[in-house]
């Protein structure tokens, strides 16, 4: 049985994305969830499956208690870091297709201003225990430092340049400013990127995503019910997760320029029956500029080593051949663990994209990337 077309994203919700929110992470999750449930035309008591996202995600029980859910039939966690959201959609689609439940809520939200910054928690996470033991004591502390050698290797092997990373950063910023609900509001140029301070060579400040506060949520329902619901029908046409070789240590990975999504993408495209050339809009996980370039290669939009040239000449900008991160992404909208990428994709395919709407977009994809290379991809279609 293929999951293709079995599930639809029937509700999306997100809060304003800010820095210094006074709201708790759980409140941000609840606000986004209530919006998503209303967007779907449901009430909170209709939810019968919950998959909380991220280490700041409140457990399903909190939602059951607060929403008065009488019969939760399905709960799960998908611990893939920034790929967790799409892995959760896959899990929800599978549970729905199997008849276990009807409407799965996928809530996320974080308040990093109140504590949980990405860079200081790696050593507390069990999936990073080898890094914690052998690399953290050497001064490999933050994701920027762990991922930088992947980018450096790519630059040395393929001649990829920092100015090409800048192309990604500039496109994301332009989209964020047009979109409106974004933390970063000031335009940047290639030269601004090139003169931003070095963090972990080759990553400069403007190669790195934001720490920000907010909430984002989805409701996933059976596709056959979605036609009777409030919004235009956006189905999951192809979806897969992939885990890289040596998932616990990038240092030990034979080919460190290849991510888990390289395994997932062929499965997702085959499930959907489409190719990269068919994709009209892409929301690509962008914790660092380089990670976008690497995923474009791993998904087959171009060959390995060609990603730097691929992103030149505004290809990722609105009006380019592959409009990407029409919300500004993690680099310029907000770091919402990639949940904001899924929300934005659905909005685009419904035609609700506002100032960053890709004209006539009917088929698009979102990706996630997390921990030390886990990947996930969802190809969605307006039907």
Partner 1 sequence: MSTSEKPRPHETEESRPYWRGAERGALMIQRCAHCGKLRHYPRLVCDNCHSLESDWVEASRRGTLHSWTVAHHAFHPGFAQDVPYVLATIDLEEGVRALGILDAPADGKLAPGAAVTGRFERRGDGVSVLHFFLARQGPRLVKGDDQC
The region of 26-34, 67-75, 151-159, 276-284 touching partner 1 under the rule CB under 8 A is 151-159
State which of residues 59, 137, 187, 354 lies at the interface with partner 1 (CB under 8 A).
Answer: 137
Q: Which of residues 181-210 bind partner 1 (CB under 8 A)?
A: 194, 197-203
Minimum separation from the CB atom of position 139 to partner 1 (A): 5
Contact 67, 92 (CB under 8 A): no
Minimum separation from the CB atom of position 312 to partner 1 (A): 13
Minimum separation from the CB atom of position 249 to partner 1 (A): 6
What letter does residue 311 receive in the DSSP assignment?
A: T
CA dihedral 213, 219, 220, 223 (to 10 degrees): -140
Q: Which of residues 320-379 bind partner 1 (CB under 8 A)?
A: none
State which of residues 141, 222, 321, 383 lies at the interface with partner 1 (CB under 8 A).
Answer: 141
The b/e string for 184-220 (b: 16+ C-beta within 10 A; e otherwise) is beeebebebbeebeebbebbbebbbbbbbbbbbbbbb
The set of residues, in sequence order, having a beta carbon less than 8 Å from that of 98 and lying 6+ positions away, is none
The set of residues, in sequence order, having a beta carbon less than 8 Å from that of 217 and lying 6+ positions away, is 11, 12, 13, 14, 29, 32, 33, 35, 36, 105, 106, 107, 108, 109, 339
Q: Cα dist. 113→81, 216, 231, 334, 369 in Å? A: 19, 17, 34, 13, 23
Contact 326, 279 (CB under 8 A): no
x/- map, 250-269, partner 1, by CB under 8 A? -xx---x-------------
What letter does residue 331 receive in the DSSP assignment?
A: I
State which of residues 6, 110, 152, 335 lies at the interface with partner 1 (CB under 8 A).
Answer: 152
Please identify, using beta-carbon distances, which residue of 150 and 272 lies nearer to partner 1: 150
312 is an interface residue for partner 1 by CB under 8 A: no
Minimum separation from the CB atom of position 189 to partner 1 (A): 14
249 is an interface residue for partner 1 by CB under 8 A: yes
x/- map, 73-112, partner 1, by CB under 8 A? ----------------------------------------
Element of type H or E holding 105? strand 103-110
Binding site for partner 1 (CB under 8 A): 119-120, 123, 130, 132-142, 144-145, 148-150, 152-153, 155-163, 194, 197-203, 249, 251-252, 256
């Amino acid at each position: 049985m293929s999951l293709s077309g079995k599930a639809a994203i029937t509700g999306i919700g997100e809060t304003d994305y800010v820095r210094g929110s006074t709201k708790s992470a759980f409140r941000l999750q609840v606000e986004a969830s209530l919006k998503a449930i209303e967007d779907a035309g449901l009430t909170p008591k209709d939810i019968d499956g919950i998959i909380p996202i991220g280490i700041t995600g409140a457990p399903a029980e909190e939602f059951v208690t607060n929403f008065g859910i009488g019969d939760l039939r399905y709960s799960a966690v998908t611990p893939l870091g920034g790929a967790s959201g799409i892995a959760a959609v896959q899990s929800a689609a599978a549970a729905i297709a199997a008849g276990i439940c009807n409407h799965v809520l996928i809530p996320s939200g974080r308040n990093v201003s109140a504590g949980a910054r990405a860079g200081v928690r790696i050593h507390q996470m069990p999936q990073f225990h080898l890094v914690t033991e052998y690399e953290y004591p050497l001064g490999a502390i933050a994701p920027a430092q762990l991922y930088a050698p992947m980018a450096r290797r790519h630059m040395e092997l393929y001649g990829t340049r920092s100015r090409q990373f800048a192309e990604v950063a500039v496109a994301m910023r332009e989209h964020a400013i047009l979109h409106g609900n974004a933390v970063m509001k000031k335009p940047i140029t290639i030269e601004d990127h090139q003169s931003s301070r070095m963090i972990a060579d080759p990553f400069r400040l403007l190669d790195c995503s934001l720490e920000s506060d907010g909430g984002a949520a989805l409701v996933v329902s059976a596709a056959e019910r979605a036609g009777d619901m409030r919004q235009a029908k956006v189905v999951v046409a192809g979806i897969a997760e992939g885990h890289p070789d040596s998932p616990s240590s990038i240092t030990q990975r034979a080919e460190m320029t290849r991510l888990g999504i390289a395994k997932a993408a062929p499965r997702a495209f085959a499930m959907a029956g489409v190719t990269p050339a068919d994709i009209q809009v892409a929301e690509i996980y962008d914790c660092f500029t380089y990670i976008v370039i690497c995923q474009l290669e791993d998904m087959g939009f171009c060959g390995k080593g060609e990603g730097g040239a691929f992103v030149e000449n505004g290809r990722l900008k609105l009006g380019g051949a592959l409009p990407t991160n029409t919300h500004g992404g993690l680099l310029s909208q907000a770091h919402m663990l990639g949940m904001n990428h899924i929300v934005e994709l659905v909005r685009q395919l419904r035609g609700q994209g506002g100032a960053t709407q890709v004209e006539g977009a009917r088929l698009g994809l979102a990706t996630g990337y997390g921990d030390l290379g886990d990947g996930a991809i969802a190809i969605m279609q307006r039907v």
